[in-house]
Chains A and B, each alone.
Chain A
Amino acid sequence: MTAPALARPGFVERAAGVSDSARWLGRLMLAPAVLYIALVVAVPFLMAIGYSFSNVTIGTSTPRFVGLENFRNALQDPAFLKALGNTAIFSLVSQTLVIVLASILAIALQRRFRGKWLVRLLILLPWVAPISLGSIGWLWIFDPVYSVINWTLRHVGILGPDSWPIWLGQPNLAMASIIGVHVWRTMPLATIISLGGLSSIPQDIHDAAEVDGAGFFRHLFVITLPLVLPILLVAVLFGLVFSVTDMIVVYVLTRGGPFDSTQVLASLAFFKSIDGGDLSGGAAVALFLLPVLAVCAVLLLRLARRAEVV
Chain B
Amino acid sequence: MATVETRALRKEFTGHTAVDGVDLTINEGEFLVLLGPSGCGKTTLLRMIAGLESQTSGDILIGGRVVNDLPPRARKIAMVFQSYALYPHLSVAKNIAFPLKAQGAPRESIAGEVDRAAKMFGIERLLHRKPRQLSGGERQRVALARAMVRHPDVFLLDEPLSNLDAKLRNLARDELKQFQRRLGTTTLYVTHDQVEAMGLGDRIAVMSGGTVRQLGRPQEVYDEPADTFVAGFLGSPPMNLVPVDGVLVGFRPEQLLAPGAPASEGVGPAVPMRFAVERVENLGAGRLLYGTLPDHAPDQKIIVSLAYTVHSSIEAGRTYDFRMHESNLKFFDPGTGRRVPARPLPARRSA
Contact = CB atoms under 8 A, between A and B. Distances in A.
Direct A–B contact present (CB less than 8 angstroms): yes
B113 A6 contact: yes
Contact of B100 (A1, A6, A20): A6
Considering the complex of A and B, which 4 residue pairs feature the smallest CB-CB distances, nearest first?
Answer: A3-B151, A20-B71, A8-B104, A7-B103
B74 A12 contact: yes
Interface in B76-117: 76, 100, 103-105, 109, 113
Given A7-B104, A16-B69, A1 B184 contact: yes
Contacts of B153: 3
Given A1-B184, A3-B151, A4-B151, A11 B104 contact: yes
A107 to B, nearest CB: 35
B184 to A, nearest CB: 6
Interface in B176-210: 183-184
Interface string B150-176: 111100000000000000000000000
B151 A13 contact: no
B74 A6 contact: no
Contacts of B184: 1
Interface in A5-60: 6-8, 11-16, 20
Given A6-B150, A6-B151, A13 B74 contact: yes
B70 interface: yes
Nearest to B72: A20
Q: How large is the interface on B (under 10, 10 to 19, 20 to 34, 35 or more residues)?
A: 10 to 19
Interface of A: 1, 3-4, 6-8, 11-16, 20
Contacts of A3: 150-153
B76 A12 contact: yes
A15 B69 CA distance: 8
Nearest to A4: B151
A117 B104 CA distance: 48
A67 to B, nearest CB: 47
B1 interface: yes
A16 to B, nearest CB: 4
Contact of B103 (A4, A11, A20): A11
Contacts of A14: 74
Given A6-B100, A15-B71, 5 more contacts: A3-B153, A7-B103, A7-B150, A8-B103, A20-B71
B70 A16 contact: yes
Contact of A6 (B71, B103, B183): B103
A10 to B, nearest CB: 10
B103 A15 contact: no
Contacts of B71: 15-16, 20
A6 B76 contact: no
Nearest to A9: B104
Interface in B99-141: 100, 103-105, 109, 113
